[in-house]
Structure 1
Amino acid sequence: MKILIIEDQILVARFIQYQLQLTYPDYCIEIAVSVDEADRYMAAMQPNLVLCDIQLGDRIDGIDLMKKYRQDFIFSLIFITSFQSKEVIDRAAGVYPEHYIIKPMDESRLYAGTHLLIQRMAQQMQVNKGKSAYLDQFSAAEKKIIQLVAQNFTTKEIAAALFLSPHTVKNTRHRICRKLELNEENNALLAWAIKNKDLLDL
């Protein structure tokens, strides 16, 4: 898990970093105290989670900065700020944060505002890791054929779509069935592909 703290007050940033590292000692947790530093970390680090102050004392505030990052990066977001006005909260909602923690904060407020999200993200990362390992048994060509099978393409249609011979597609389907220990009769591969669309990112 990679976490980036964007906070122009270094003492606050260090407090957040220290508290998170106590709970998650194996995570990579970095601090950016300016927009320029945040730009560099986002590009190099590509964090899973960003904790961002709204009032950064820089050329743009945290909300506009997150709008910019949403165009190029995928990450979860928690705003940490002293702003409590409806106008600011409505602006912040426009970049879809998972949570909004009001300053001043202590250990308990920080933990309550971050732990459930981080725990959920860690669980999803484990699922994705298992999915990635599962997908390793298939080649890119096999995955593409499974995708087309799931869309109910016939062997002849798959061959035409992928510029392959029907014989090659048929042999690849046999190989996929062997890997999955499927009976090749009764459209077993079609049933499996439809059932496992989410698993295979199809």
Structure 2
Amino acid sequence: MSLSEVIVPHLPFLRRYARALTGTQESGDTYVAAVLESLIANPALISTSKNHPKVTLYHILSKLWGSLKVNLGADTGANTWESRAHAKLAVIPGLPRQVFLLKTLEGFNDGDIARILSKNEADIADAFDEATAQISQMMSGSVMIIEDEPLIALDLEDIVSSLGHSCTGVARTHSEAVKLAAKKKPDLVLSDIQLADGSSGIDAVSDILKSYEVPVIFITAFPERLLTGEKPEPTFLITKPFSPDMVKAMIAQALFFNSGPSA
């Protein structure tokens, strides 16, 4: 198989991870671009690896995360979402955040995470416990759900409540979503892509964002359609079928990056 055939299937998920880790599409995609540059310079990093190529890709990104400071760049403005993310990144250690995402979002086991991060499994377990404890200390927020499937909506409501957050309501269509957001002003939006009336969750979110800034987590069975690297794309993305841990991880990350610095 060619290098592109080996790595292309994993790129949407590597972008998702990098964006969740850094908090922005721009920073996350910069790290992924650096991974690809490393592979072009040395294709043997993949072809001679004894690990699964996906593990190798995440390992390369991890090494770059530890050496490049894209995520800690200059502030872009005192009140911007990205600026607040940079301030919060200095509070949560990098290793626990990486472990938390790799386990709950990307679904790696402790052994693979240890290989990705060049740590032993005991270190991974300790880092996960630290991340869970710190993220649980976040302030609770209000979450609006845009989802046309009643059972999925109920599952999402239960997950939101279990984390100590409140649900402002569930919208099934574009118009319902825009009206509910205008009325309730949620701290976070969880949105499916395809809605009951044939409208797009992306379009609904786009209209909501015209009124005020709010983090958004998109839910889709086809992440490759959104994570192409060719246009503005979601920083936070959940793939169907999803696990409760995956949703919890993304909600914690989204609210973490949107909240102000700790006092």
TM-score range relative to shorter protein: 0.5 to 0.7
Distance 1:108 1:47, change over 3 A: same
Deviation at 1:36, TM superposition (A): 2.5
Cα shift readout 1:117-175 (whole Å, capped 9, x = no counterpart): 22444x52876xxxxxxxxxxxxxxxxxxxxxxxxxxxxxxxxxxxxxxxxxxxxxxxx
**Of 100, 114, 139, which residue of structure 1 is paired with 2:251?**
114
Letter in 2 for 1:88: L
Structure 1 distance, partners of 2:235, 2:223, is: 16
Letter in 2 for 1:63: I
Alignment partner of 1:11 is 2:142: no
Alpha-carbon contact 1:5-1:13 (below 8 Å) kept: yes
Alpha-carbon contact 1:48-1:74 (below 8 Å) kept: no
Alignment partner of 1:60 is 2:199: yes
Structure 1 distance, partners of 2:229, 2:199, is: 14
Structure 1, unmatched stretches of 5+, are 128-202
Structure 1 distance, partners of 2:207, 2:154, is: 25
Q: Say which one has the larger Rg.
A: 1
Aligned to 1:42: 181
Letter in 2 for 1:102: T
Aligned to 1:97: 234
User: TM-score, normalised to structure 1's length?
Assistant: 0.53
Identity between Structure 1 and Structure 2 (%): 27
Aligned to 1:82: 221
Structure 2 distance, partners of 1:91, 1:71, is: 23
Question: Secondary structure in 2 aligned to 1:124?
Answer: coil
Cα shift readout 1:81-111 (whole Å, capped 9, x = no counterpart): 11222x43349962x5330010101211111
CA RMSD across the alignment: 2.5
Alpha-carbon contact 1:21-1:29 (below 8 Å) kept: no
Aligned to 1:124: 260
Deviation at 1:24, TM superposition (A): 1.2
User: TM-score, normalised to structure 2's length?
Assistant: 0.42
Deviation at 1:45, TM superposition (A): 0.7
Deviation at 1:35, TM superposition (A): 1.9
Structure 2 distance, partners of 1:47, 1:91, is: 28
Alpha-carbon contact 2:148-2:195 (below 8 Å) kept: yes
Alpha-carbon contact 1:78-1:99 (below 8 Å) kept: yes
